[in-house]
Amino acid sequence: MQVFEYPDKSAWPALLQRPVMDTTALEANVGAILQDIKQQGDTAVRKYALQFDKVQLNELQVTETEFAHATAALDPALKQAILQAKQNIETFHRAQHEAGKIIETMPGVQCWRKAIAIDKVGLYIPGGSAPLFSTILMLGIPAAIAGCKEMVLCTPSNAAGEVHPAILFAARQVGIDKVFKIGGVQAIGAMAYGTDTVPKVYKIFGPGNQYVTCAKQLINKEGIAIDMPAGPSEVAVLADDSCVPAFVAADLLSQAEHGPDSQVLLVSTSMNVIKAVQQEVASQLAQLPRRNIAEQALTHSRLVLVQDMENAMELLNAYAPEHLIIACKDDITLADGVVNAGSVFLGNYSPESAGDYASGTNHTLPTNGHARAYSGVSLDSFVKKVTFQRLTKEGLQNIGATIEAMAAAEGLDAHKNAVSIRMNS
């Protein structure tokens, strides 16, 4: 991990650069796979499952028998943990319901907005180096609360054609019955275009590797909605002398173990804190089963010493992290200065892992600086906000002259006439 002491603002863009790769070849390869799936459907899906996942899939959809076996096989303690997380996530997301309210903008002119669920949504759940069953809760719960009529879930199987039991248990708990043993680009293509087996959806959610991310971006260009632009996962930690270095190190490593292209950033006003965290990272890293992955992520991570908290917050807002931990004595006050972040964790006892799994907030968040303009997944992600208006005769008389004047000024006579013909009747 590189240490930067009091970097000048002119150096910030380079300092805050995410890991970059050349996507030219990637887009060409992914695009070819997507076109193959669009044309060949299930045949292409099976071909790529064999090529990339080394599995011969006779049946793409998970059966009721497999759901039952998963429930029976799963450790009771893990079942209870999933159910507790489900309850917290439901509580937080149900509170995001907005009651429709009719606004009378002037006498006889009423306007309102209504949230309508997206009919068909697709959820992608990675299952490679780690089966992310927690993401099923984060996506399936708000989809169910929103009232989406059809939820389609794709996740890769192992070489024996089996899906991790925690994934199936979590899916059933949130009301998802259509689960397909499809991973990678072929999963995104199947949900985007539809096949004989996999239903076509209107919006696709979920994380994935660079291939999945690229596939989502390409199908988005074709008119299929996606949750947000996404890249490798990341965390930034702001720490002062009140932090516990062992806690900070654990938070940095919990993010670094996601993947070699993950990034972690520590910003502090204290060199003592930076040195103590470095020592703790080295000590804890040696004990991690995913040590090799974390080590690769740490090679492009940063430790930054700044003059004061004002400078620190400016730097962090420029970075716009997916996750931001504020391990400082004035954490509540400092939180008021957060402008760009996906999700914020305050104090020494709020690890990012809490939001990843069970506190209630959603862990599907904007990465790669997209927190400057995007929010994380919420109930709103699964609905469309449709506006309505109703004008009475009196209302049109009150507003008619305004509309006529504006339409005439824009040279849109038919627009003006749509009002005038009513006014003169």
Residues involved in catalysis:
322-323
Residue 264: both structure tokens together = 């972690």
∠ CA 66-70-72, rounded to 5°: 120
Determine whether the annotation assigns residue 93 to a binding site.
no
DSSP 59-124: --BPPHHHHHHHHHHS-HHHHHHHHHHHHHHHHHHHTT------EEEETTEEEEEEEEE-SEEEEE
Distance CA 341, CA 30 (A): 30
Determine whether the annotation assigns residue 48 to a binding site.
no
Cα dihedral across residues 25, 28, 32, 38: positive or negative: positive
- Residue 175 φ/ψ, nearest 5 degrees: 85, 20
* Cα-based distances in Å from 238 to 10, 154, 191, 362, 385: 21, 37, 40, 21, 36
Determine whether the annotation assigns residue 6 to a binding site.
no
Contact criterion met (CB below 8 Å) for 234 and 264: yes
Contact criterion met (CB below 8 Å) for 75 and 93: no
Determine whether the annotation assigns residue 415 to a binding site.
yes
Determine whether the annotation assigns residue 22 to a binding site.
no
Contact criterion met (CB below 8 Å) for 288 and 250: no
Determine whether the annotation assigns residue 8 to a binding site.
no
Determine whether the annotation assigns residue 323 to a binding site.
yes
Determine whether the annotation assigns residue 217 to a binding site.
no
User: What 3-state DSSP class applies to 335?
Assistant: helix
Binding residues for substrate: 233, 255, 258, 323, 356, 410, 415
Binding residues for Zn(2+): 255, 258, 356, 415
Binding residues: 124, 186, 209, 233, 255, 258, 323, 356, 410, 415
Binding residues for NAD(+): 124, 186, 209
